[in-house]
Amino acid sequence: MMTAAPNAVERKACWDARDLLWKCLDDNDDKAASCQSFQKDFEAKCPLQWVKYFSKRRDYLKYKEKMETEGFAPNEGPKQPS
């Protein structure tokens, strides 16, 4: 069964809940326990697929930011024979 896409008001409520959660996570060094009320509100106001997408998106953006600020440092792999 297909559900209707969120309308403009529902989308804004979802995005606002996402932004509050992300701010809480940023302010608390990504400690999810500190932001459970924001997480519950985010999950209540957004479709499940959006919750999954935004969670992956945040992980990607954090990774990208780390790569831009710290650079890429490959792990030392197995030693090659000389």
Per-residue model confidence as pLDDT tens digits over 26-59:
999 988 899 999 999 999 999 999 999 999 999 9
Q: Which of 47, 2, 41, 1 is nearest to 19 (CA)?
A: 41
Going along the chain, which residue ranges are E strands?
none
Q: What is the pLDDT of residue 82?
A: 59
Locate the domains of the chain by residue range.
8-67
Q: What is the share, in percent, of the chain residues with pLDDT greater than 90? A: 68
Cβ(28)–Cβ(34) below 8 Å: yes
The whole-number average pLDDT for the span 53-67 is 94
